[in-house]
Chains A and B, each alone.
Chain A
Amino acid sequence: MSTIESELRPIPRVPLWRNVRVLRIVAQIVAVGIVGSIVYRLFDNLTTNLEDVGISTDFGVLRRPANFAVRDDPGFDIQSPVVPNLMWIGVKNTLMSAFVGIAIAVILGTLIGIGRLSTNWLVQKICTVYVETLRNIPPLVIIIFFGFAVFTYGPFPIFNPRNPPWQVKVPGTDDNLLILSNERWGFPSAMKDGNVGIFWILMLVAAIAASVMWWWRTQVNVRTGASHHRVALSTATLLGLGLFAFLALGLPYRMSWPAVSDSGRTILGGFGTNSGYLSITIALGLYHASHVAEIVRGSIMAVARGQSEAANALALSGFQRYRFVVLPQAAKIASPPVISQFLSLTKNTSLATVVAYPEIASLTASTIANGMPAVQMLVLLMALYLTISLTWSLILNLVSRRFKEVGR
């Protein structure tokens, strides 16, 4: 009865100015309006002012030739356009520095993070000093330190025709294992020599086979409780097939050893790099290792003590306790913050301009300095970094979601 009555009776109307829904919409319109008009005003000012002083606001200028050469990129034609050619070199250099830096940071950081929890007093103290020192110094200072105090003025010899660099030979041969100087370093690398495409297709097959092996051993383990040995077996599959493909295709890669060029000024073969790259990469690797170490330490400590005690009760050895109980859990806790360190390391590579390493930020600055309009170049720079950052964020979200599902 009552329901019918209430349907019959007109619902008392809330006055418009007290209707929450209306208020919300109004609030949003007002907010968007204010922000939008400010943005519009600023944008308008910017374009008007730039036109007044005669600076182009057209993005077409980005296709103008760069007109300057790039460090350690002898193939770069100075007449080729800023976008995409010059900036492509920048992106390549940024990523090359970021990835190696990340590898250093993760490996070193994990070791130091574990070291801070060592029962060895000496190791514990050294790791603590490392973390507390590096973490509290601006990365730029560390980069300059490497660039100048270590490489430029450090113990390494000059590299020019009158001054050969240090060449560490592979014992018994004339090949250089390492070339060290205050400007260029050379490392051995693999060089393609034959049918690389087919080799990588075969490697893909091998990887699939290894995954199948992994899945199969896991199934066996779940069904029968027999130990799975999946890491060993999958690796063996991958390496075995890979080796087979490598031999069958007649060694598509061979070792390339670094050698001093005829001019006595550059490195041919191998992987030759310069002090700018080394400074930025090592400095950022070390700086972020101190942050990673703190994350790793915190994560290990966050794994409940009971877990560790349970492992002890099962009579697992110290190594087993870490390998099978503590680290897998700690890794889940540590992953998201460590990935944000990757993001921050990638952004910090933009400091490379002080050590003359041509990554995107310093190439952008150079380009602007050489007469390219600043607004377009900086918008491009920000867009490139946003792309990189958003990619990292995406990975971060995927990882944390996955660990949330699997984890607690």
Chain B
Amino acid sequence: MSGAEGTLPPEMTSGALAEVIASHPAPIPARSPQEWVKKNLFNSVMNTIITIVVGPIALYLLYRFARFVLVTGQWNAVQSNLELFMVSQYPRDERWRLVWQLILVAAAIGMAVGLNGRRARIVAEQTGQPVPSRSWQMYLGSYWSIILFVGVLLGFSRTAGPFLLAGACLAAGVVGYALTRGLPATLIPYGWTVTGLVAVASFQVLSGTGGWSWFFTTLALIPALSALARSLPAALGLAAAGAGIAVGAATLVFRWGPVGWVAALVGVYIIVTVLKGDRIDAGRTGIFMVGGGAAFLASDAIGHEGVDWTRWGGLHLTIVVAATAIILALPLGILLALGRRSKLPAIKLMSVLYIEFFRGVPLISLLLASAFFFTFFLNPGSDTQLSTMTRATVAITLFSAAYVAEVVRGGLAAVSKGQVEAGQALGLSPAKLNRLIVLPQALRAVIPAMVGQFISLLKDTSLLGIIAINEFLGVRGLVHGQNEFRGVAIAEVLVFVAFGYWALTYTMSRESQRLERRLGIGHR
């Protein structure tokens, strides 16, 4: 790390700029091909031998692989089951939900990119640095694996639908970007709120009425999380109040319809405003709630009934489960990390036990436990049913919370002692110290590691197939269960599945490395 960056003049170490430099190495003086070959392949006796031995083998393997992909592969096993791979047995009549979800997610991503760029520009203007920009080649360079995957999917599709969908997503993304890229500085926080809203709305569309509880959970969670960076006690209080109200209101709603819902909104809103006394946050919460309500009512009006998630499947399920689990694991993980650093022995002990237990056992044992006896934890005689899917998500969430806790702990440890001491010297209370100095730095530092955690979670969801949940890898079983694909195209299906996982995780891991570099430089 240190080598290349050390040579930059100090005023040029702005994150984005360094990245531009890193991705555009100094032009190598034009050299003839012979010189290049000599320098890179035959620069020593050892290397010459290696090149001569390895080169033909590599070329042969490359040839075999290319031949497999382009000529001999029986890709019709993948082609005719493309829908199964994407959404498995998601009911046909309800597929419009997935379409809208994708479009909304695309819009949210577009808005996030636009807002991020906008903020970077404002910062650059304020500090007088050149405005960072990423050309389309750079986007292509960053996201080529996903673009390739989408290309392959479109290549396999036999109808116009997927093309239309891809076009619509692209358009939604562009619209989102266009709307936010020129936003006035004062509106940026609101822009982020709306982005979050669109993301939540995408889930609303997906789950329809079944998403009541999700909606209220988010309602309780988002203000709590946004408050977390400011004040831990306030956040805890809010989370508790929010959760209480959410649960209460969720019950009320089923009796009194919109009245209970509005009451819940007002309640949460008042709590947030009173506790925080912060204009922007009050405004953001308000927008979030009113917008969320509108999105919810809209989806309720269109959708009637959501699709129970026991019927989800394929790549869609893989991504949704991983995202759900990481979002749910985050608050628990932060609490555990703080608990592990706590000076109160009982709390520390509980956190340590939790973390070490869940890191010590393999995920499959938890999934088996979820399959075999999680339901028996419910109250005797309770009518509540937990589907396999729900129980598995609980298991994955509990599992990843332990890892998230370790990631966050790493971030907390990375905050230099000097920072803490400086804060103490200013006479800050431990709580204030945490919320003003430690957590903001720690949480920023863990973003790349959290992306890494999400990647491994995404890979871990492949185990769901073992307990008969047909996620992306599990669809393999369905395909080979069909008459025409029994015992054939084994490698093709696996290569396709591996390619799908790879396309997603490769881009994410590259992005997390990029982020790490950027944050790392800004850190120093």
Contacts and interface: CB of A to CB of B under 8 A. Distances in A.
Direct chain A–B contact by Cβ atoms under 8 Å? yes
Interface of A: 24, 27-29, 31-32, 35, 42, 45-46, 48-50, 52, 118-123, 126, 132-133, 135-142, 144-145, 148-149, 152-153, 301-302, 304-305, 347-348, 350-351, 353-354, 361, 364-365, 368, 374-375, 378, 381-382, 385-386, 389-390, 393
B330 to A, nearest CB: 20
A351 B356 CA distance: 21
Given A45-B377, A136-B501, A121 B40 contact: yes
A140 B463 contact: yes
Nearest to A349: B362
Given A385-B362, A386-B361, A148 B494 contact: yes
A347 B362 contact: yes
Given A46-B377, A137-B459, A354-B466, A122 B365 contact: no
Contacts of A119: 40, 43-44, 47
Contact of A126 (B47, B54, B501): B54
Task: Report the interface size class on chain B.
Answer: 35 or more
B498 A145 contact: yes
A138 B362 contact: no
A382 B54 contact: no
B377 A42 contact: yes
B161 interface: no
Given A119-B43, A126-B54, A136-B509, A45 B380 contact: yes
Nearest to A20: B430
Contact of A137 (B343, B350, B498): B498
A145 B491 CA distance: 7
Interface string B48-79: 00110011001000000000000000000000
A122 B58 contact: yes
A131 B356 CA distance: 29
B360 interface: yes
A353 B466 contact: yes
B490 A389 contact: no
23 contacts: A31-B344, A32-B346, A32-B350, A45-B376, A45-B380, A46-B377, A49-B375, A119-B43, A120-B40, A121-B41, A123-B47, A136-B501, A136-B505, A136-B506, A136-B509, A137-B501, A305-B2, A347-B363, A361-B365, A364-B368, A381-B361, A382-B357, A393-B360
B378 interface: yes
B408 interface: no
B395 to A, nearest CB: 11
Contacts of B347: 27-28, 31
Contact of B361 (A27, A29, A305, A382): A382
B58 A126 contact: yes
A146 to B, nearest CB: 10
B472 to A, nearest CB: 9
A27 B348 CA distance: 12
Contacts of A304: 2
A120 B379 contact: no
A354 B377 CA distance: 28
A99 to B, nearest CB: 17
Contacts of B473: 138, 140-141, 144
A301 to B, nearest CB: 7
A392 B359 CA distance: 12
Nearest to A154: B491
Interface in B497-512: 497-498, 501-502, 505-506, 509
B462 interface: yes
A49 B378 contact: yes
Nearest to B487: A153
